[in-house]
Each structure stands twice: as C-alpha cells, then as structure tokens.
Structure 1
C-alpha cells in the first residue's frame, strides 16, 4: 500500500471537527429533551425541592452516559476530535456531573425532610434504609466523590498514571449502581414502560460504545494483524526506533500523525501501555515508532527483542491531514515531537515549511531523514537551536521564517512549554484558530 496523499479540504466543506462536535452536542440536547418530556409526563411532586432533585438526578445520569461516550474511543469521533480533547471534555463533564449529583442528593434529602419533619441527615439514612436502590445510590455517590478528588489537577500530578487509572475504573461500578437505583426508585421510570425502555436503550448504547471501542475493536484488530517487533534501531544515545510488522497492515486504518497505545508482551512490560506516535507514514508493510528515554517504559524499548509480540490499541488522534484547510502548511516540531511531524511531511500535499526546534544539533532526532524527505517533497527545512530563552520562535522570528504563515495550516507538536509559546506567537500573528492543529498526548486529561 502506498502512502495516502490527502488534499486539503475545499474551503466550502464543513470541517470534520465541527461535524463531530455538533453531532455530540445535538445528541446530548436531544436526549435532554426526551428526559425532560418523560419527567414532565410522570407528574410533579408537591414539594418543589423534590422536583428539583428529581430533575437533577435525571440530568446527572444523562451526563454519566455522555461521559461513557466521550471515553469510548470510537474511531469516528477520535479521528475528528482527538483523544486529548475528548479526554478533556470528559474531565470537565465529570465535574459537572459531580455537582449535579450533589444537587440531586441535597434537594431530595431536604425536600423529603421538609415533608417528614426529620433533620436532613436522619432523612437520608431513612431513605437509604427504606427505599429500594437508595443505598446503592449513596455508594455510587461516594465512589464518584473519590474519583472526582483524584481527578483534580493537584491530586492527578501526585499520582502515577497506573494508580489513577485503577481508581478511575471504579466509575463503572458507580455507573451500574446509579442505573439500578434509577430504574428501581425513579418516578419517571416506575410510572412509564416507554421511559424505562428508552433508559435501557440509552445506557445500552453508552455501555456498548465502551465495550466496542475499548475492548472488542482492539482485541479484533490485534487478532487480525498479529503485531510483532521486527527490529530495534538506536537513533541516538537516548532515542530508539522500533519497527513493527504484522499481517494485513494495509487494512489497518492508521494515518500519519496518529499514535497507538503500545503494550510489548514481555514478562516485565505486558501491563504497561505507552502512547507513542508513528514516526513514519504507514506503508501497509510495517509501522515505526520513535521514542526518547523519558521513563521506565520508553527507556526499556532498546532492550526489546525481534519477534516480541505487540498489543496495540489505536490508531488514535486527530493530528492528521484530514483536518487541512489550506493548500500550504507549516510543520513545527520540538524535540522528539518531530516523530508525528516527520510522518505528516511524508503524507502532505502542497508546499510545506518545516521548523525543527531543539536545544543543540545533537538533539535533532531523525534530522537526516527529515532533510532528505524535505528535499524530496520540495519543502523548506529550518533547524532552530539554542536555549529556551530568548524565545527562538517568537512572533517576529516565525514571521521571518514563514512570511505567509497566516495563510497556511500550522501543525505543531513538542514539549508543553514550547507548544504554549508557539501557540502564543500564532495568536499574536493572527493565525486563525481553524488553521492551527495540535494535540497534547495526555491520557488522563
């Protein structure tokens, strides 16, 4: 299979990201309207606090189902929006869910307490002891409070990803407990078989999406492609490329700029999943990743043996030529962020300017490949070296290197400080946001 050459999207076409984002909003709004309709048909309680609590509970459950869709890693959504943005939306939706659930508990408890003359704490205990499903809901709320706590930035930075991920898995327990509480105790569902059928369908789709995207599809693809390490090639003292081969790779829907979650099935590494971008455009025969030794996972790559089985989840990411809006492009790479940039250059049509930002010449990983590829494609290549201060990619310097930068697509990948600086420069140069493409490779948001 030859590398796919994708022309830019015609100016009149609706951008894929807009289509996907609008579709998600429309799905959420339509389901909110349906939930509201069923709740109104079920009638209102005489106590306004109880009514508010019931609506808060219904909308919280709807947000919970939406959360599942955001992290299901469905290919159609991921290619158009990107895992980083979907994960970030999931995170912020999670905080909205947390406050909505707290509102549900507070309104319901105080509403019933007003009718029974109990104090709120006694009322909550009484509901948990006497109403089917309420105790399960209290447990679910406790789990969500814990998950919300460890997802706060100050806590997330102090936890290993594996620890954070293990705690986060309890969200699925909370989902099941909350769902059974609603169908058992929710007035909206106990009074309407149509509402109950809708609710089962909604949650079936949400949970089915997670099962499909995160379990069934990866298992099927790995069984089909039988990935193995073909070769391990050191690129420098701390950078290594791993070549992966397998069956029917021409049928693997990977594109330049995307990444996989790689598991190398050795005795000491099978449980680790590390996100590494493709450093060459897929050619239907092999895949290549290039990584810098930044931790135990990436440092151990140079010790892999040819023939090692590989389990790969993906491809993921919207950092592809699918999102082009202009016929010409600027590719800005920092450090080992050159890997998806190098792959993108191989696939892109039209004139491109490549800016490679590194501390020194010896840090320019894959530079020889990039130089040869730029020559072949008729692209300009600028190697920018030096310490981070003064900023070598300030607005004036970018404009000097690419005078027509505002008329080009800009693809950006590198360390977070460098990316933030370049994004600031692009804003100062009035480059339209629709022409700026980047991803932050963070699994936890």
Structure 2
C-alpha cells in the first residue's frame, strides 16, 4: 500500500549544504597545511636541500594520510551533505596524491643522506633501515601504500572482486599505524616543540577517532537500538525482490528517502556479505524497505530469506535527498532498478514533479504500479519510456519534449552508469545548471 508523506520540508536553503561542507573540508585542510608549514620552519632546516624537501613532503604526506581517514570515516554530517560517491572520488584522488608525496619523501630523504655520506642510494636506504629507529616501519608502510595504490588503479580495480579489493584496502590502516610510529620516532618537527607534538597527536587522534565513530561506534549503537528484522519478502518480478524490515524506534532513525544502507542479513551463509541497497520507500517510522535486482549469488539468495532474520544495517548514507533542493519543482529520472530511490523520493518531494522511467521493455518496469498510484495521489506526471538503447530516448530534444521547463527544475537521476552518463550529457547540452542536478553512483571507499 502506497502512502503519501504530508510533512512539508523546509524551503531550499540560500547556501547549499554541499557548498558549506565542501568549503569546510577545504578550509580544514588549508589551515592544517599552513600550521604544518609553520612548525616545519620553526624546527629549522638541514644543510642538505634534498633532505629539507624530503622532510617537508613527509609532513604533508602524514597530513594527507590523516585527511584520507576523515574522508572514509562515513561521518553523517559530511555524508548527508557531500555524498558517499563524491567522498569516495576525493578519497581516490587524495590517495594518489598521498602515494606520490610519500614516494617523493622516501626518494629525497634517501638521496639527500646519500649525498652527505657518499654512499649509493640503495646502500643508504638499507643503512637507514638498519640503524635508524622507525625507518624500516616506514619502508613497510610505503610498500603497503604502493600495493594499495596499484590495486586501486582503474585497470586493476575492474578485474578484482570487491571483497578482494576491500581486504587489500584494509591494510591501509596498518600503513597508517606504521607511518605514525615512524613519525614519532624520527620526526624532528614532531618533537620540535610541545605545541608541535600536541598538534600531531591531535591530528591523528581526530582522524582515527572519526573512523572509529563513523565505522564502528555509530553502526553498533544504531543496530543495538533498532534491532532490525525481516518482516516480509515480496517478489516483484522474476529477478527483483523487496525486503521489508521492522524494528524498534524507527521513527528515531535519521534516514531519508533517496538514501541507502549497507545491509547484512545475519544468516549462516550471508552474515559476512554487506550489500548497498537504496530504500525503495520513504521511511515511515515503522518499516524500512529495499528492492534489489538479482545480480549474482549474493542477491539471488535474498528471495530465500526467512521472516524474522536479524539484519545489521550500516547507514543511512548518501546525499541523494530532497535536502539539496534548489527549485520548487523537480524532475525524477530513473533507469531500471535505479527506480528504487526515485520511487522513495517521489513520496517526499513537494511541488509539481515529473517522473521519467526508462526501461528496455514495459515488463521491466519494477514498482511501476506503485509509481503510478503515487503520482496520481501527488499530482505528478509519470512517463514510462521503453525501447532499445538506440536511438537515445532521453536525448536533449526528447527531455525538452517531456519536460519543457526542465531548466527551471531540480533533476534527480539514478540508473545504470551508461544511462546516467548519457542523461548527464543531455542535461549539459540543455544548460541545466549544475547545482540543480542531483545524482549518486553509490560507490564506497575503504
């Protein structure tokens, strides 16, 4: 049964939450770069320019490593405003910057000391590792980061199972610990003053504390509080199933339409698998629902879940919500099973909405009856667009035909990556302002 949410959300904010969060992150990084530079200057310079550059790169590398932890901490305040996929993208690029910074640190330090001692660089590195406390740990940390960077490259990432990539990625935390102990042992700036020492302990404490809070404390606390269990398993088609869940105090769960969770169904054969699925209905304080398409052995087992199965859910995650509205009217564009967050959003969005649902054939239109009922209740327009990929039925002229005033609306988009890329291209051609386009690719870091 489809219900219509009657609570009117606040009007769009004058300053977008995404802008505030992004500016805050950039500002925090810039301030810390300045502080690190000041501490470095106060500590004095070595006589060898190569060593000076190497030490500065090492400090910046330590700061980037702490910033990396903040990006993957899954803190609700950042996630709701920026979104998991953007944070993941930033994590990726900061990670490659970190790799080159630490590699530069190792190269400049090694060649700098080799220049002073007259040894060849390889012998100098071996000598440092054998005679200076913490250097061997730093070498191991660098090797781990190089391996993690290698498997995170696009070519390797596409060929590795997610579980394999994730397991290798977990060694990042070991690299962080090794790098920190190296910094404590030999970092001249670390011990240059009590203020510098307190600062670095504070940086690492905040970074590691953020990870512990977002990745461990909050998920455990929320699951202990809400005690989710499967209440119904409903096949929607031959390869799509909806899972309904109930629990305690769900009206206190800070979830919104458009967000997703990492779901673990605690059965003997599934407890170790965490799959990201969007809510396919707006949270009503009593139940949660996800709708998933069979895409492998893991999702195929969903239709065999038993009522009463315990559920461990991490989240909610994502900035694909009405919180980021900038216009009073909206266009909701869904492709395939990407309709799930769109269907949930339709319950929550206020103002006139146009829903465009793109599928290969009419029988692929999952949840279409619910969409039609909900659209009628809310006075929204619903367009079912079916047919082969070519010709493009969501090309610019087709979008304008369906929504003549699309440039004056917020656009929410979710679907398969090729379809999303094509629609984003169409929106650019139509000069729809970037701040009015909302999408999420549901990618995860770390």
**TM bucket normalised to smaller:** over 0.9
1, 5, 12: which one aligns with 2:8: 5
Counterpart mapping for 1:31-430 below 5 A:
31-430=32-431
Distance in 1, matches of 2:115 and 2:99, equals 24
Give the TM-score, by structure 1 length: 0.98
Give the CA deviation at 1:113: 0.6
The DSSP-based 3-state class of the residue aligned with 2:231 is strand
Alpha-carbon contact 1:161-1:444 (below 8 Å) kept:
no
Alpha-carbon contact 1:3-1:282 (below 8 Å) kept:
no
Distance in 2, matches of 1:313 and 1:274, equals 10
Give the TM-score, by structure 2 length: 0.98
- 1:102-146 CA deviation, whole Å, 9 max, x = no partner? 100011011111110111111111111111111100000010011
Distance in 2, matches of 1:124 and 1:323, equals 52
Give the CA deviation at 1:297: 1.8
Alpha-carbon contact 2:72-2:445 (below 8 Å) kept:
no
Give the CA deviation at 1:4: 4.8
In structure 2, list runs of 5 or more residues that go unmatched: none
Give the CA deviation at 1:8: 3.9
The DSSP-based 3-state class of the residue aligned with 1:79 is helix
The DSSP-based 3-state class of the residue aligned with 1:326 is coil
Alpha-carbon contact 1:8-1:322 (below 8 Å) kept:
no
Alpha-carbon contact 1:8-1:321 (below 8 Å) kept:
no
Alpha-carbon contact 1:260-1:276 (below 8 Å) kept:
yes
Distance in 1, matches of 2:8 and 2:48, equals 63
Alpha-carbon contact 1:7-1:349 (below 8 Å) kept:
no
Alpha-carbon contact 1:334-1:356 (below 8 Å) kept:
yes
Worse overlay, 245-254 or 185-194: 185-194
Distance in 2, matches of 1:207 and 1:413, equals 33
Alpha-carbon contact 1:78-1:318 (below 8 Å) kept:
yes
Runs of 4+ in structure 1 over 6 Å off = none
Give the CA deviation at 1:296: 1.7
How many residue pairs get matched? 443
Alpha-carbon contact 2:75-2:214 (below 8 Å) kept:
yes
Give the CA deviation at 1:3: 6.3
CA RMSD of aligned residues (A): 1.1
The DSSP-based 3-state class of the residue aligned with 1:254 is coil
Distance in 1, matches of 2:216 and 2:96, equals 26
